[in-house]
Amino acid sequence: MPKRQRQITGTQRNKLLRYQKILDLYHKHKTEDNSVMTVWRKYIYPEWAISRTTLYTILGTPVSKELKEIQAEEDRQLSIF
């Protein structure tokens, strides 16, 4: 795998792992009584300092699926050697 491709894959994987941590925090505190904004304001923003728009992007991202795809690509690249 070319160096540039490894950097992109590593950056993408790290971003998705960060998204996963934010999603875990979101699901931990999200209840019927708490709106998305309340969870963002009380729990997510103080720890991660992300915007609401970024939170909605994270909520719409299929994190598990994309992590599996990256792992499969890395495994495929390693099997070449």
7 band by pLDDT with thresholds 50, 70 and 90: low
Q: 77 vs 23, which has greater pLDDT?
A: 23
Residue 44: how many CB atoms within 10 A of its CB?
A: 21
- What confidence score (pLDDT) does residue 76 get? 79
> What HEC string does 13-67 produce?
HHHHHHHHHHHHHHHHHCCCCCCHHHHHHHHHHHHHCCCHHHHHHHHCCCHHHHH
CB of 58 within 8 A of CB of 23? yes
For range 49-64, the mean pLDDT: 96
2 band by pLDDT with thresholds 50, 70 and 90: low
